[in-house]
Structure 1
Amino acid sequence: MVNFNGKLVAKQEDILSAENRGFKYGDALFESVRFVAGTIFFWEDHYFRLMASMRILRMEIPMEFTLEFLESEIKRTVQKNGLEDGPVRVRITVFRNDGGLYNPLSNNVSYLIEAVSMDASFYLLNDGPYEVELFKDYYVNKDMLSNLKTTNKILNVVGSVFAKENGYNNCLLINNDKQVVEGINGNLFIVNGKTIKTPPLQDGCLNGIARKKVMDVIEASEELELAESSISPFELQKADEMFLTNSIQGIVTISKYRKKEYGNSMAKSLLGKLNAKARLES
């Protein structure tokens, strides 16, 4: 079952028209959240990012779109699918209502909530091989729209196809200045000794929730130093570790880039602290 504007319907049911603006123009936003034992990991951060993104895209925020309302709709969707006893991946998509060409007839919105079961209740570290390569065919724009979690993800789709065709687990995306911005499905961090570096939002990376939480963990440590600055491709092979972050997987460690192989001791330590932070803040 999926939740379309508060109505729970079968996944197979036709609920979106041919005029859907998310389909026709990518005029939509989404949040992917982890739901465990009745709580949503970092829900306030996800909610306020969604509201801020809607304002940037000039979508009309419904009066009922409170934090409590959307949380209750998520819980209702999870329960209707019989998934409340296990970990769940939830996706909330918000799109401008049908009508218009590039210029919409209305800024009013609809929402769709989906729920799918997951294996683990908390973030687990991937121990197997995980090789990445630069994707250089197309570039991430250095602007605020790139910071938003919109459904305009054709660059990520083409990059994923490239990775699959060439036997890579993921690709790293670059911007017009040829700086490394992020992975296909996560923010990038590189480790050199006690310094952990991640690209700034000004370079065009997603304003990720897991990115923010990992940065909080690093800044709270007396031993570690956080550097939020541009990363050139030449730095990648000099790093001790590289990892990606996203709200569903937490931290994904990169084991190989070209001829360089990486450890994961720092990522393992940070993942434990991220899990602890999830328990405290959820």
Structure 2
Amino acid sequence: MINFNGELYRDHDTIFNQDNRGFLYGDALFETIRVVNGHIYFLEDHYFRLMSSMRILRMEIPMNFTMEFFEDEIKRTTLANENAQAHRIRFSVFRNNGGLYTPKTNDTSYLVSAKKLETPFYVLDGLPYEVELFKDFFVNKDMLSNLKTNNKVLPVVAGIYAKENDYANCLLLNLEKSVVEAINGNLFLVSGNTIKTPPLKDGCLDGIIRKKLISILKDDEHLNVVEESISPFELQKADEIFITNTISGIIPVTKYRKKEFNYEIAKKLVGRLNAIARLVV
């Protein structure tokens, strides 16, 4: 089910034309959101990240684009997506048609799409999950890399590389050869009682689950969380590696090169993540 500027369409309906700026220039932002039984996980975080990103890209924010409007449009779309308990929502915002690199207007449109999810909770499936470094192209260390924009050519090419070489995922590097993130989420390394994740200044996505886990870990007297650059040499020395994103929650890495990992800390954290996701209403 698709919601385009408040009108509902089926998945196969034609909505855009060849002048769409999201298609022509990647002039678009999106939020990927988990919704379960009408409850939008981390609603405020998604809304305020989208508003902040629109301001950074100098998009005009309509007066009616309140958090209540954001919430209502998501719920309208999920209600129209029949026979689904859990949904994956993509809420996209793009500048309206017109202009070449320089747009004729900063006015925006939005599109909400809903897909069924198989499980209403974050779970660890325990399946083998091998990763490798992707070294053909690099993430820039700037604020644009922190945003969830439609400019995703690097992860797309990395995804093709992973598929061609039978990896579950790839880890991306910045120009200083620090490990920044995975194709589809933020990165965490566990060494003893210290959990490390790359800082935003290294170019990683300003992820919602990243933010939530940092908050959880800061309140844990047995674990120490730090935001520091990660060298590729640290990967094989870690006790655990896991990836986070809004849809999957926590994805444990089970193998990197010759090193195999357990996921005891990830098991503990996924329960706590489920707890706060259900509490935040």
1:255, 1:262 within 8 Å by CA — same for their partners in 2? Answer: yes
Identify the residue that residue 64 of structure 1 maps to in structure 2.
64
CA distance in 2, matches of 1:87, 1:4: 21
C-alpha distance in 2 between matches for 1:76 and 1:118: 17
Match of 1:228 in 2: 227
Distance 1:205 1:236 in 2: 17
Structure 2 runs not aligned, ≥5 long: none
- The equivalences for 1:228-247 within 5 A come to 228-247=227-246
TM-score by length of 1: 0.98
Query: Deviations along 1:83-113, whole A, 9 cap, x unmatched?
Result: 4x50111110000000000000000000000
**1:125 paired residue number:** 124
Q: State the partner residue of 1:89.
A: 88
The offset of 1:22, in angstroms, is: 0.2
Question: What corresponds to 2:203 in structure 1?
Answer: 204
Deviation string, structure 1 residues 45-77 (Cα, Å, up to 9, x no partner): 000000000000000001111000111111111
TM-score scaled by structure 2? Answer: 0.99
What is the aligned partner in structure 2 of residue 27 from structure 1?
A: 27
Deviations 1:239-280 (A, max 9, x none): 000000000000000000000000100000011111111111
Write the distance in 1 (CA, Å) between the matches of 2:222 and 2:95: 46
Q: How far apart are the structure 1 equivalents of 2:270 and 2:25?
A: 37
Distance 1:42 1:32 in 2: 11
**Given the alignment of the two structures, is residue 174 of structure 1 paired with residue 173 of structure 2, yes or no?**
yes
- The aligned residue for residue 79 of structure 1 is 79
Q: Which residue of 2 aligns with 1:16?
A: 16
Inter-partner Cα distance in structure 2 for 1:244 and 1:126: 14
For structure 1, the residue ranges without an aligned partner over 5 or more in a row are none
Question: In structure 1, what is the Cα distance between the partners aligned to 2:12 and 2:119?
Answer: 27
Q: Quote the Cα distance in structure 2 between the aligned partners of 1:198 and 1:219.
A: 13
Question: Are the counterparts in 1 of residues 202 and 229 from structure 2 also a CA contact under 8 Å?
Answer: yes
Instruction: Give the total of aligned pairs.
Output: 281
Equivalent AA in structure 2 for residue 228 of structure 1: E
| Aligned-partner Cα distance in 1 for 2:26–2:125 | 32
- Same amino acid, percent of matched pairs: 61
Which 4+ stretches in 1 moved above 3 angstroms?
A: none
Tell me if structure 1 keeps the 8 A contact 2:38–2:78: no
Measure, in 1, the Cα distance between the counterparts of 2:174 and 2:69: 37
Question: Following TM superposition, by how much is the alpha carbon of 1:13 offset from its aligned partner in structure 2, in angstroms?
Answer: 1.8
Query: Quick one: distance in 2 between partners of 1:126 and 1:214?
Result: 19
| Correspondence for 1:268 | 267
Partner of 1:104, secondary structure, is coil
The correspondence of residues 129-208 of structure 1 with structure 2, limited to 5 A, is 129-208=128-207
Give the superposition deviation at 1:180: 0.1
1:108 pairs with 2:107 = yes
Instruction: Give the Cα separation in 1 of the matches to 2:57 and 2:41.
Output: 25
Q: Which residue of 1 aligns with 2:276?
A: 277
The alpha carbon displacement at 1:234 in A equals 0.3
Q: Distance in 2 between matches of 1:148 and 1:86?
A: 29
SS of 1:268 mapped into structure 2: helix
State the 1:12 CA deviation: 1.8
Query: Match of 2:189, SS?
Result: strand
C-alpha separation in 2, matches of 1:12 and 1:196: 44
> Contact 1:126–1:253 (CA<8 Å) still a contact in 2?
no
Indicate the residue corresponding to 1:216 in structure 2. Answer: 215
Structure-1 residue corresponding to 2:252? 253
